[in-house]
Amino acid sequence: MKPIHEQGVAELAQAIAEGQTSSVEAAQHLLERAKQHQHLGAWLAFDEDATLAQAKAADARIAAGERTPLLGVPMAHKDIFVTRDFPTTAGSKMLEGYRSPFDATVVSRLAQAGAVTLGKLNCDEFAMGGSNQNSAYGPARNPWHTDHVPGGSSGGTAVAVAARLLPAATGTDTGGSIRQPASFCGVTGIKPTYGRCSRYGMVAFASSLDQAGPMARSAADCATLLTAMAGPDIDRDSTSLDHPAEDYARLLGQPWQAGASTAQPLKGLRIGLPQEFFGDGVAADVIAPVRAALAELEKLGATLVDVSLPRTELAIPVYYIIAPAEASSNLSRFDGVKFGHRAARYDDLLDMYKKSRSEGFGPEVQRRIMIGTYVLSHGYYDAYYLKAQQIRRLIAQDFQQAFAQCDVIAGPAAPTVAWKIGEKADDPVANYLADIFTLPGSLAGLPGMSVPAGFGAGGLPVGLQLLGNYLKEAELLQVAHAFQQATDWHTQSPEGF
């Protein structure tokens, strides 16, 4: 049997179900491994007693004859999901020491499926960032090169999965925060259609964009997690889709169309290549592995089709108007009154507000609150916020025109490989530009994923982004799984881990 930390979700679930190991043993092994690699900065909180209590309960369910795909499997949650058994900080001093009285819906659904929580994972403060350098508790480090960023905001999640600290974990994606770190760290991650996963108990950044999703080593494992996580929650989340829960693994290993050979399971699949995703702004060491991955998909029977998403370059200004506007509204609740950081000294109520927010929020969060407040202010709402929402609709329409010609859209998940920690610290716009290929799908609310597709300069991972039409997660996972059955990029791990 492979060491516990080298097993994926399906392998570990099977080993536990068959008695080759126990949930308690797996949890203890991974907790010890997490402590050995604290230098990676992936973790923000542990509670060994809480974890082992969950593992013992899972072992009891197994002993009683219960069998589910996640029963007894240890995993962890991005520290943007509130949890009763672990503190929730959202990577911010503002929420340091906060304990939620309830679990987020995503957390509770995975617990019901039998998953065991190892702890909480590092992230950019309030999920604002693409490098995990904005965390108040220090950066997470890319295990492929520890002086490089892992991407963000779900950087801790990507690091933990890539470094074999756990088989899978949750993340959130507002403008690419699952897909970009998955690309930078060489793991698989999927952002479902907006509304698929409940936002109840997810600390809000931008309410019309935030969406939960899983990160794991393979598309098959992501499908298993997403099946447990997703589903309607309309009583508690007004943005939840009232759409029946699905088995997202149902198409794995199936041919794209009836009669396709085993050698070409994707025969009939049309993959759209937006010309805007393959322009001068993409590094050569990213384009080469992406082109090789597309050639592999062609061998599997897919046909490549040229399409256009003409408003791609507008996605960044549109996103950085809409997301900060929603953030300024959502973060107004953190005022030091009922919960969160409160300044030790102040003169009056207004002074308490000012000092508490100035001390509790980091510079990037403050920057976005200021931008958001500005674009929502009298005299600027129509010029900026309303105009951005109108362009957002046009971006969504561009995708629908493209999907009239293809089934799936593909391209790089990010224009470069991971950069060095601190390299872009003084240039927020350079950080924002790294999301150019993930933002359009987020603004349209489409499902998207990043799949390991090779390596670029310095041996750093490159991800292939796949985008599908609304509610087409199962089809995206089907394509990704076929690619992973033919390649081994997703099985490769950083040296020393």
The identity of residue 481, as a single letter, is H
Annotated active-site residue in 177, 218, 240, 442: 177
Of 208, 259, 169, 228, the closest CA to residue 396 belongs to 208
The residues facing 235 across adjacent strands are: none
The active-site residue out of 23, 78, 100, 356 is 78
- Helix, strand, or coil here: 151? coil
Among the options 153, 198, 356, 450, which is catalytic? 153
Phi and psi at residue 473, to the nearest 5°: -60, -40
Give the separation between CA 490 and CA 483, rounded to whole angstroms: 10
Tokens of 477: 């996972």
153 tagged catalytic: yes
SS3 411: strand
Rounded Cα–Cα distance for residues 195 and 243 (Å): 9
CA gap 206, 82 in Å, rounded: 17
Count Cβ atoms below 10 Å from residue 65 Cβ, excluding itself: 6
For 463, list phi and psi in degrees, rounded to 5: -110, 140
Q: Reading across the β-sheet that carries 168-173, which strands appear in turn?
A: 43-46, 116-121, 74-78, 168-173, 211-216, 188-191, 448-455, 461-468, 408-412, 270-274, 303-307
One-letter identity of residue 405 = Q
- Which structure tokens are listed for 444? 């349209």
Q: Which residues contact 45 (CB under 8 A, 6 or more apart)?
A: 79, 86, 87, 89, 119, 120
- 78 is a catalytic site residue: yes
Using DSSP, state whether 197 is helix, strand or coil. coil
Which residue is listed with tokens 């561009």? Answer: 398
Residues annotated as part of the active site: 78, 153, 177
